[in-house]
Amino acid sequence: MTAGAAPAVGAGEGAPILGPDAAVCAHGKSPAILVDITGLSNRNGTVRVRTFGGATSTWFDKTKWQTKVEIPTPRTEPIRVCMPVAAPGNYAIDVRHDANANGETDRKDGGGASGNPRVTVWDFIFGRKPSPKQTAVHVGQGVTEISVTMMYLSGTSLKPLSETKR
């Protein structure tokens, strides 16, 4: 998908809203999630954002996403991506920074989710997903803004870069 941009509203006023549905968030009257992404390791590759809704048992299943936006990694902060949703309700978001844009998950790639849950390598190995209680985003009639902090592999955990350099 190609990225469009529209003027931002709210806390990040003046920053572009990215994604093919940027105007939905700029307008502010339709159900949508505006995802502020922070903590990228670099400005290479692509950023992918997905929305999950419906039964929480399907959240984070790589085949059950509802909306997906993939954009070239913007060269400057902030990164704000608009994810429209079909109706008010509870949703989850995941974000992936494909640092080398090869379409595969590598050790240098980062990830994050709504609610910024702590995740370990063991969670991936055993197929454990973050708790819906922690990752649920309630969307009403307008735009709901959330922040996702990217995490990168450090030992057997995924951590924000600020914690991996200690």
- pTM here is 0.88
Domain count, the chain: 1
Query: Once rounded to an integer, what is the mean pLDDT over residues 100-122?
Result: 92
**According to the model, what pLDDT value does residue 120 have?**
84
Tell me the residue range of the domain where 45 lies: 5-164
* Residue 116 pLDDT class (50, 70, 90 cuts): very high
Instruction: Assess whether pLDDT exceeds 80 at residue 118.
Output: yes
Q: What DSSP letter does each residue of the chain carry, written as one string?
A: ----EEE--GGGTTSEEESTTHHHHHH--S-EEEEEEE--S-S-SEEEEEEE-S-GGGTT-TT--SEEEEEEPPSSS-EEEEEE-SSSEEEEEEEEEETT-SSS--TT-EEEETT---EEHHHHHTT----HHHH-EEE-SSEEEEEEE-EEEETTEEE-HHHHT-
pLDDT per position as a tens digit, 14-23: 689 999 999 9
